[in-house]
Chains A and B, each alone.
Chain A
Amino acid sequence: FTACSSCPGAGQDVGRSCILVSIAGKNVMLDCGMHMGYNDDRRFPDFSYITQNGRLTDFLDCVIISHFHLDHCGALPYFSEMVGYDGPIYMTHPTKAICPILLEDYRKITVDKKGETNFFTSQMIKDCMKKVVAVHLHQTVQVDEELEIKAYYAGHVLGAAMFQIKVGCESVVYTGDYNMTPDRHLGAAWIDKCRPDLLISESTYATTIRDSKRCRERDFLKKVHETVERGGKVLIPVFALGRAQELCILLETFWERMNLKAPIYFSTGLTEKANHYYKLFITWTNQKIRKTFVQRNMFEFKHIKAFDRAFADNPGPMVVFATPGMLHAGQSLQIFRKWAGNEKNMVIMPGYCVQGTVGHKILSGQRKLEMEGRQILEVKMQVEYMSFSAHADAKGIMQLIRQAEPRNVLLVHGEAKKMEFLKQKIEQEFHVNCYMPANGETTTIFTNPCIPVDISLGLLKREAAIGPVPDAKKPKLMHGTLLMKDNSFRLVSPEQALKELGLAEHQLRFTCRVHIQDPRKEHETVLRVYNHLKGVLKDYSVQHLPDGSITVESILIQATAHSEDQGTKVLLVSWTYQDEELGSYLTSLLKKGLPQSTA
């Protein structure tokens, strides 16, 4: 059976994912996320839950990371270098490339900006990544002789994967974060009908009915357009990959259609990095991007040009994409400082910002920021937030369950929310058990392994001929011999089994003596017995053979005189093992004695 322990996060749409699965004796940790809402030790999962004597490397067979978001991998360096784990860490290639960048960014913000001390170092991030084994999609990876894992495409962000963990005939699928509808640069999650014993799915967005992408984009374009029309500047801080490309394509199309003249810039550092990553991971994006990339360089747009620092001071409207995404350092922060004072300008944050960053502060409504050297920056520009990140809603979860056909479902959710409705929905539609453990709770799931057994044709034909006609809805009881050899199971007739094994068949025969008081001759006693039995056992075949014995079906009855007492006759009742029931019935019948009446 598999057991599961989860430590989901709390609050808003940010959580922390870290799940421990025990399957057929193997222990796997799924994701190792950091909770970004807390500033103290509560941000790390409590690893003492896992094992009492602390040797994680011995206890865990592997760690799997689903994607590069910090709430899924943020605690990894802490876990591997500060708590201590030296075993393998599995993730996809893009995740392996992008994780360290985000972890380093995050470390810089937390330590340099906020002065935290109990945190992992840059060296620790490097050491941690050395333990990572990168995997390809749909590639079966043998972790050891019994444990294997396989990654499936999850959509959501570049490199995000769902993982199947298999030991023998038991398997678990963990989805991480996934999305069932394709967007401009990522496809939709997909899995085959792998029928895992358990599907672990996130369900934070199960109760959300999302506004359509079209409407979000329409509003985004409207805002950008309005700002540019009144001569303002729009700053869009982005991470190098993902949403930036989507927004670029969106703006380019809009500019073309509306014949707009205001310049759009993309900072060069971004271009190089993004190009580099896209070249590496082109198979991870969807068809459209791939086609675009093949036809031209990712950033050779007609209306979008490379940015130069000096342009920020140019008068007039413009749109600029710059890194980093949370406005915590670098070019985007520089531009922000230049433009913040003018209310005609606008900054659009396209994603979640970590606490402590300028991005987070302005999204929380702060309008006076303290910069280095105690300088106060007054923010008069418009601050907008636009979330493009995609998660599965209730419909998506149902779709995934339909695709994978799990036997049990376990939902991990952000808050200890009541999700009784979704649970019932899943149970009713798919007739599977649905579990929703709370933070720190262990769920135990029992599996019914399927053992395939081949049945010999001869046995099948013989058994099918006996008794009622085979009915698909009713189980039929069959008798045979189970031969187990070399991991194969076969059901054959006993005769064939004996033959194959070179064994001789033994016949068991029982003989029972019944004493009857009868002074007459033996053959008269036999006649009396015969008539008695014929009268009682009307449904059976009772025969009086010429040699003086009686048969009832296949049971033989013979009479002899008692050696010492002529008045007593001894009936020998003899039957084979197969006729045990009838034999003992006959014996007890005869023991009751014969009726007095004569033949």
Chain B
Amino acid sequence: YRELHTFELQAPTRLIEWAHGSRVCVAGYGQSGGNEILQLIPPPRLQAKETQGLCPERDFKVECGGFSKHPVYSLKHVPDTSLLVTSGPPDSSIQVWQVSAEDSDVIKSMGTIVTENSTGQPWAKIATISARVPWVLHGSTLDSVQITEVELRKNVYRAASQDSEELSGLAFLDSSTVLLCCARGRLCMADVRQPQHPTQAVPVPAVPHGERWCMGTLCAAQGSGMGSQPIARLSSRGFIILTDLRKASEPLALAQARVPSPGSGAEFLCVSWAPALQGCLAISGFDGTVHVYDTQRWDSSGREAEPTFVHKGHVLGGAGGSGDPPLVTAHTWHLQKPRTVLSAASDGSLHVWDWVQP
């Protein structure tokens, strides 16, 4: 490691999201209520370009917090506003929160956006875009995908689909195109300017059955247009498929990650691209480790890939012997520092690490 910082949160989180002003948000997902949403200020050390010495400011500070009765599975900051949206069981509705850090350190609940037939549905996946409009893309199944203008609570778009297949993720490719990833691996796209047109399946080759899939894309703001960044899909068996949307019928690259066979299910599967390192992605959710891969040398053979780096901190640093080994629940990349990753695990640990390039 070049840098390693380990922190302990009061309650484990399964999300790490960046918010306005380099803030980091985490939230509890306990079933018995009393979950906290925390907006943290990262230590100045992590914000600086150059790593300074043993500077005293190595701690996170809780800037503000809120209380949620329900577990929080997903959280997104709505760019250019002081709003946050969250989602989680027991249904597919999304909650809106207001952060006004200057006046008060409490994140206030601003109500719920209830979606039609939301009871009994799996929890909604959320995506936002830094465009001038405060849009939130959300939905739990293909036929419940919609965009809500979150300040006016107005519905802006509703997907025309009859398919009730469960989603594992969704994203804005740009302000008029959305990409949807089904839990069974299918990819669909839709043009939000033409709601009457059904969502189009992206012509990717079919994936093996029985696995659960999730996707990773680079934020629409970072990427220079829809086609430039490949989409990564990760399966619960550790198979990774890279797809270029401009030429979707053939995979760009395939690889098999060396991960333990799915034990506790695919609850925390996560794959993400590094914003500042070309072709670099990270995966987690199989055990207590985070793998980093350089995909530039991958081909379409689907061979086992060698990770550039494996972060084992959550396993080694744990309480040791008391119950199940910790499982990494989420990871995310630092937006500016190229090799810095933040990862969280089921034991409440939060790590920030930066590896030495071999």
B34 interfacial contact with A, CB 8 Å: yes
B262 to chain A, nearest CB (A): 30
Contact A215 B105 (CB under 8 A): no
Do A209 and B106 touch (CB < 8 A)?
A: no
Query: Does A424 interact with chain B (Cβ within 8 Å)?
Result: yes
Within 8 A of A (CB), among B265-304: none
**A394 near B62: Cβ-Cβ < 8 Å:** yes
Are A209 and B40 neighbours in the complex by a CB distance under 8 Å? yes
- Residue A190 interfacial (CB < 8 Å): no
Residue-wise interface mask of A (212-254) relative to B, using a CB-CB cutoff of 8 A (1 in contact, 0 not): 1011101110010000000000000000000000000000000
- A-chain residues with CB within 8 Å of residue B54 when the two chains form the complex: 216, 219-220, 223, 348, 384-386
Distance from B53 Cβ to chain A, minimum over Cβ atoms (Å): 5
B154 at the A interface (CB under 8 A): no
Chain A min CB distance to B46 (Å): 10
Q: Are B5 and A211 in contact (CB under 8 A)?
A: yes
**How many Å lie between the Cα of A348 and that of B103 in the bound state?**
38
Report Cα–Cα, A429/B317, bound state, in Å: 29
In angstroms, Cα B10 to Cα A173, docked, is: 25
Counting chain A CB atoms within 10 Å of each CB, the highest count among B34, B43, B106, B350 belongs to B106
Map CB proximity to B onto A69-97 as digits: 1 under 8 Å, 0 otherwise.
00000000000000000000000000000
Report Cα–Cα, A114/B9, bound state, in Å: 44
In this complex, the member of A394, A417, A419, A421 whose beta carbon has the largest number of chain B beta carbons within 10 angstroms is A421
- Contact call B106/A421, Cβ cutoff below 8 A: yes
The CA of A418 and the CA of B106, in the complex, are separated in Å by 9
How many B residues touch A, CB cutoff 8 Å? 32
What CA separation (Å) do A384 and B53 show in the bound complex? 6
Q: Select from chain B the residue with minimum beta-carbon distance to A363.
A: B56
Residues in A519-534 with C-beta less than 8 Å from chain B: none
Q: Mark A375-418, 1 if CB is under 8 A from B, else 0.
A: 00000001011110000001100100000000000000000011
Cβ of B328 < 8 Å from any Cβ of A? no
Q: State the CA gap A429–B67 with chains docked (Å).
A: 12
Name the residue on A nearest B7 (C-beta): A209
Q: Are B62 and A209 in contact, with the CB atoms below 8 A?
A: yes
Evaluate contact between A418 and B104: CB separation under 8 angstroms: yes
B55 at the interface (CB under 8 A from A): yes
Q: Is B8 an interface residue (CB 8 A)?
A: yes
The answer, among B53, B56, B104, B350, for a CB contact under 8 Å with A387, is B56
Q: Is A342 an interface residue (CB 8 A)?
A: no
Compute how far the CA of A420 lies from the CA of B107 in the bound complex, rounded to whole angstroms.
10
A130 within 8 A of B: no
Task: Provide 19 A-B residue pairs closer than 8 Å at the C-beta atoms, listed in order of the A residue.
Answer: A207-B105, A208-B60, A208-B62, A209-B40, A211-B58, A212-B6, A212-B8, A214-B6, A215-B5, A223-B54, A385-B55, A385-B56, A386-B54, A387-B56, A417-B105, A418-B103, A421-B105, A421-B106, A428-B34
**B-chain residues with CB within 8 Å of residue A384 when the two chains form the complex:** 53-54
State how many angstroms separate the Cβ of B322 from the closest Cβ of chain A.
16
B6–A424 touching, CB < 8 Å: no
Q: Is the CB of B43 within 8 A of A211?
A: yes
Q: Is the CB of A218 within 8 A of B4?
A: yes
Q: Which residue of A lies closest to B101 (CB)?
A: A418
CB nearest to B6 among chain A residues: A212
User: Which parts of A399-457 form the interface with B (CB within 8 Å)?
Assistant: 417-421, 424-425, 428-429
CB distance from B244 to the nearest CB of A (A): 40
Q: Are A421 and B64 in contact (CB under 8 A)?
A: yes
B1-36 vs A: 1/0 string, CB under 8 Å? 000111111100000000000000000000000101
Residues of A within 8 A of B40 (CB): 209
Return B34 CB to nearest CB of chain A, in Å.
7
Measured in the bound complex, the distance between the Cα atoms of B55 and A424 in whole Å is 32
Instruction: Knowing that A209-B62, A348-B54, A421-B107 touch, tell me 5 more A-B residue pairs with CB under 8 angstroms.
Output: A209-B9, A209-B60, A211-B6, A421-B105, A429-B34
A215, B6: Cβ atoms under 8 Å?
Answer: yes
With A and B bound together, what is the CA distance between A280 and B56 in angstroms?
32
Q: Quick check: B53 and A223 within 8 Å, CB to CB?
A: yes
Q: What is the chain A residue whose CB lies nearest that of B1?
A: A218
A462 at the interface (CB under 8 A from B): no
Contact, CB under 8 Å: B59 / A208: yes
Q: Name the distance in Å between B243's Cβ and chain A's nearest Cβ.
A: 38
Which A residues are in CB contact (< 8 Å) with B153? none
**Any chain A CB within 8 A of the CB of B65?**
yes
Closest 9 A/B residue pairs (Cβ):
A209-B60, A421-B65, A212-B6, A211-B58, A207-B62, A384-B54, A421-B105, A418-B105, A386-B54
Nearest CB of A to B128, in Å: 24
- B61, CB-defined interface residue at 8 Å: yes
Measured CA separation A210–B317 after assembly (Å): 15
Q: How far is the CB of B9 from chain A (nearest CB, A)?
A: 7
Q: Which residues of B contact A218 (CB under 8 A)?
A: 4
Within 8 Å CB of A382, what residues of B? 53
Q: Taking the nearest CB of chain A, how far is it from the CB of B165, in angstroms?
A: 39
Closest to B102 in A: A418
Would you call A207 and B55 a contact (CB within 8 A)? no
Also in contact, A420 and B104, with CB within 8 A (given A209-B61, A220-B54): yes
Residues of B39-91 at the interface with A, using a CB-CB cut-off of 8 Å, are 40, 43, 53-56, 58-67
Tell me, in angstroms, the Cα distance from A418 to B105 when the chains sit together. 6
In the complex, what residue of chain A is closest to B58 when comparing beta carbons?
A211
Instruction: Report the nearest B residue to A421, measured CB to CB.
Output: B65
Choose from B4, B53, B59, B66 the contact partner of A209 (Cβ within 8 Å): B59
Q: Which residues of chain A have C-beta atoms less than 8 A from B350's C-beta?
A: 209
- CB neighbours (8 Å) of A214 from chain B are 6, 317
| CB-defined contacts of A424 to chain B, threshold 8 Å | 67, 106
